[in-house]
Amino acid sequence: MSTTSPAPGLPSPDRSPRLREALLAADFTADGLLDLLGAPAYAALARSETVPALRATRGDGVLDTLVQLFLLQRSVASGRARAALPLEECLADGWVVQDGEDVRATVDVRPYGGPEGQDWFIVSDLGCAVGGAGGASGQGEGVVLGVGGASTTLAGITVRTPVSSALDLGTGSGIQALHATQHAIRVTATDLNPRALHFARLTLALSAAPEADLREGSLYEPVHKDTFDLIVSNPPFVISPGARLTYRDGGMGGDDLCRSLVQQAGDRLNDGGYAQFLANWQHVEGEEWQERLRSWVPRGCDAWIVQREVQDVTQYAELWLRDSGDHRSDPAQYAARYEAWLDEFEARKTKAVGFGWITLRKSGSERPSIVAEEWPHPVEQPLGVGVQAHFERQDYLRTHDDAALLAGHFTLAAEVVQEQVGLPGAEDPEHVVLRQNRGMRRATKVDTVGAGFAGVCDGTLSAGRILDAIAQLLDEDPVVLRDRTPQALRLLVEEGFLEPVRP
């Protein structure tokens, strides 16, 4: 089912299998591009620098032609295009147009490797994919962007358990919907921009993925009272004065759009379901950002909120003024727009803007777990399994008091290492650090008891019996040690250093 009509002037997906066959035959894939361009030129494309890729595609091979046509947006001779594509069909369906003796693309087609090695293609407006020729600057307000850092981040942190229903809210070119088709029986994708829905349809068709239910409208309006097992959204979260650019500006005051998405998700989730968002939020004078975000969490939901970056208001305004190309405009106009951003922040008492991830899980618990933390450090993607494990650990800790914790059995998580920190030549280290080399890559200081406990945690003995043995070695009172250790044990479990052994 789809509540959208075909977008004028855009390609038709009807014969996309023939185009897909041609692209695959030419090795126009993520791996094929890396082989052709080499790592430096391939990486430069991710920075929207095209000169190295142009130098690498000076040949007349089929793959060179496709890169120039669909990634670099260069016109190519009709004969070269015919050798690379089913040209008449592509002309008829609108993927390319005749330009004198040459042919040029009407859309940007970006090879994209799926999580299990699938050869996918993301279709977007010309110059708006990562590695496109011009970025988003100067594009119209209805522009549809391709794959970028934000979209791959969300795809990486999403929990990928098989589900009956998934919702991609604000689908854009359809990247999240494409991922969801691999583990959801029914995928619904919405967008306020009808062009975006058509691009999502093209992305799914050219990637040979199942169709999605595409619906036009704002926020949750298009899905009425439907509920889902998974909701994902990379929304237009930019906090700006007005809504000049649909693809990025929320159109509500401050961070109200992100707040509304999160607060309303509770009623749209099935029991046990996840909602995962990228978001911006204001740091308001006199208010802790963690408390501000906790107030967004709907009743009956656990939450994990991770702040990845913070910018002061001047940095934030400059970032998004550059994104829209305003820095290339008349200096007086640029200054006026910059002033408007600062006026908006001043009126809202906003001193900085945070960016990060918000994950909800509908648990129905009367004692919800709401963790809000700052974590600007590198993580290992994909992180979806780690996100799911976080909530499973919260369930365990919520249902186990100190006595149950000491009766439990634990194992040290995979790839946790111990580091000793101190001055060279010192007899004893100043402190001991446990460090994860997977997932969130956390590190935490532990005392002698914590280090000893982690070192022998193989699931064989209960936590209490391990502490009794440590007490004997350290000549400590085992009762006192049992009384003072559960809090530290909880922290090691909560942060994923120790994993409970399930019965």
User: How crowded is residue 503: how many other Cβ atoms within 10 Å of its Cβ?
Assistant: 5
User: pLDDT (tens digit, 9 = 90+) per residue, 273-328?
Assistant: 999 999 999 999 999 999 999 999 999 999 999 999 999 999 999 999 987 777 77
Q: Residue 415's pLDDT band (boundaries 50, 70, 90)?
A: very high
> Tell me: the pLDDT tens digits for 144-155?
999 989 999 999
Average pLDDT over residues 263-282: 98
How far apart CA 283 and CA 350 sit, in angstroms, is: 6
Is-above-0.85 flag for pTM?
A: yes
Q: The tokens of 82 are what?
A: 């015919």
Give the strand pairing for 269-284 and 301-312.
Answer: unpaired
Tokens, residue 330? 């008349």
Predicted confidence at residue 254, as pLDDT, reads 87
pLDDT range class, residue 241, cuts 50, 70, 90: confident
Are the beta carbons of 240 and 246 closer than 8 angstroms? no
What is the pLDDT at residue 428?
A: 76
Q: Is the pLDDT of residue 95 over 80?
A: yes
Give the residue-averaged pLDDT of 104-120.
96
Place of tokens 């186990």: 400
The pLDDT of residue 105 is 97
What confidence score (pLDDT) does residue 132 get?
Answer: 34
Does the pLDDT at position 7 exceed 70? Answer: no
Please classify residue 388 by burial: count the beta carbons closer than 10 Å to its beta carbon, then call 0-12 exposed, 13-18 middle and 19+ buried: middle
Q: How far is the C-alpha of 490 from the C-alpha of 14, rounded, in Å?
A: 55
**Complete DSSP assignment for 263-282:** HHHGGGEEEEEEEEEEEEEE
For the chain, the average pLDDT equals 92
Q: How confident is the model at residue 251 (pLDDT cuts 50, 70, 90)?
A: low
Give the separation between CA 399 and CA 418, rounded to whole angstroms: 29
**Predicted pLDDT at 49:** 86
- Amino acid identity of residue 442, one-letter, is R
| pLDDT, tens only, 352-369 | 999 999 999 999 999 999
Q: What pLDDT does residue 325 have?
A: 75
Q: In angstroms, rounded to a whole number, what is the distance separating the alpha carbons of residues 450 and 455?
A: 8
Cα separation, 115 vs 280, in Å, equals 27
